[in-house]
Structure 1
Amino acid sequence: MLDYIIVSRRWRSSITNCRTYRSAALGNTDHRLVVTNLRLRLKAQKSDHRPPKLDLNNLRNSNMRQVYVVSISNRFDCLGQISESEKAWQLFKDGVLLSAVSAIGHLKPRNKSWISQETLNIIEQLRKARLAKDIVTHRRLNGVKNKFLHRDRKLFTEKKAADLEEAARKGDTCALYKHLRDLTDGKPSSLGPIVSNDGNIITDESAQLFAWKVHVSLLLILDFVSQPDPDLLQVTSKTPEALCASVRKK
């Protein structure tokens, strides 16, 4: 054979047919026409664009609710003059969305769900003070922010602890682990710094595990020495068979 079609290994499974057309006239040459069929499967690219959520909690505020009602009423005044149903529906949908965005705004993403809205407002004021280079206000709001964060974290922990006790009392394992993950932020617990017997602080995780292993081993040895077994201590006066019998009793 004189003619080949070179295909990468990646596309080798995509080849469905390969044949030579001997009847094709290519002039005065020994070459023949070789045709290969490839089947390609193109993967659709998924769009990650999602419309931002509206902050519906703002509707609980009577002032914002009134602003939203007035805004949406003004936009609906012109709908009665439109005869086409499709165009009227499009204007209705756009009017509701634009009124909601302008009146109540979008929901701000929260990395930590336990932070209250009051604390988020303080953080926003702190950001504006930093941009305005208002050092006095920035220092004051920074102290208020830390105080509110400590309060929110304490309230969140107490609520989750109550939920954990309630789930444990009902025997709801699924809810129990869910509240536990929320309480730990989904992160595995890590060992804190410990102090060795000579007074040095150990921060390395492997060294900490070794120190705990030594500590537990010493506790077991001390417990054995404080309450010795007379059958095991008097090994010199026992035969191997009697010693094995004493060990089996343990």
Structure 2
Amino acid sequence: MSLHLSTRVKAPAMKSGPSKSPLDYANINDGLISKPVDTIPGRTKPDADKDGQDKFEDLNGYRLVTSSAWKNQRNAATGGVGFLISPRAINSCMSIISHNERIMEISLLGNPTSTVLCCYSPHNEQPEEAVISFYQELSSTVNAIPAHNLLIIGGDFNAQLGPLDALFTPAKETNRNGNHMKDFLQEHNLIATNTRFQNRINRLWTHRRPNGQLVQLDFVLVRKKWINSIKNSRAYSSFEGVNSDHRIVSCKCQISYRKCRTSMKDPMKRIDWKKVTRDTILGEQFVVAVYNRFSSLHDELQEPNISTTYDTLVAANEEVALEMLPKKSKQSYNIAASDKVTEARDVLKSASMNHNTRSTRASQKLLESAKVTLDKAYTETLESSIQKKTGELDNLHHEYKHAASWELLREITDTKSAPVVRVKGNTSEERRDNWFLHFSNLLGKPEQDVNLEDTFFNSNVSDDLPIHTGPFTMEELQKGLNKLNKSKTPGPDNIPAIVWKNPLFHQQLLDFWYSSNSGWRRKGKEYVEETEKVRKGKKMVRYLHHNN
């Protein structure tokens, strides 16, 4: 996808007239041209904004969408923002929202979804309360936009960023509005694209003041996650058909996705372990099959040791699991793709085409009946899907019914976990205070002084605790395994917990433990602790054997 903002395009012919457009930018590939305006040239109804509603006008095939302006001291219409949309972009337009007379939003369908905000900030001489109110409204608008969207904010911010806050800028210092804009960029992880590229001075300034001073007041902002997709951003000298004391700002955006390296997927990751642990009969059959296969492979070993025995168990577990255990479903059930809903939808399409071709009372009744049938098909399919899933809950073990019920409830209600939220605050000082208040409440009161010489800390709890220091017994192993959760995720060896919890593998697990801990050896059916002298002798024998 290639996105060009405000490059040289043939704008629709508009009547000449006075206009002060703070910023103009255009989207070539999507056919979008948006611009905040004070007075729109070529409007057929000059007082159409008196009702405070958004206006839609057609200009030679283009669609002009504007928000209402307000009256200045001379009772002249001023302010307002808008978008000029080409016929190509109208097909991709998802929504157009006017938040107020200074902020307007348009969303374009794509991957990712492109959201463009057009805004117009109060100038630097207006009261600071108006600027703070503007950025609060803009912040709430940005917070409501999904994080994955390609967010582009273009407008006249009436702000200047100095060399300490921007890489390439004609301003010598940051003004008051620039400080508010800097806090806004930091809070929402944004970057001003036309301050990032090293251009000549005549490609940086966007407004010429009456005294001849060249300043940069207009910016195109994007999220930092898309900064590598921005290829260039600069100002142009003119725009055909618009008479403005501001220059247009161009931003070329080329979306590129990083391709992940494909690796060989472990086939054991496809096993639906959740279903296996919930089905007690299937789990028991699986453990018995693993034990039989392990015993068969172990008998074929010529010189079995701890390593070869463990590898044999891992191989037997994988072989049996891939052969008899169910796999995870690739996708969830889609109600809209069910046969009943698809059939009802086709009937509705046919009825709609017949009614549009020849509108009669009979065709109208058929169309209404088809709509009711489609709604009923959706409802019946959803009910059958829920009944099927609730029926599966009855077959589960009582230990898993509670968790499975909540999982089904979240799936039906489409409830998701709360997203990670940034620290709230419009300025850096507010965010710092909120951060301090958060950790003050989290950590609680300061720690009280504790006298470690107090009798409470120096009294003996028990002189002789009943702690068993002998060999690790089968009873101790069983107590530990009883506390092991069946649904625990398998480790790197892909051996599930239901295998170790089964009594068939208790003795083998105990052998693995003793073999991996030096100082113990098996003597018949019991384990005895070796003396230090015996261990040193074995080490010397292994050393001499290795060197010879």
TM-score of the aligned structures, taking structure 1 as reference length: 0.28
Of the two, which has the highest radius of gyration? 1
TM-score with structure 2 setting the length = 0.14
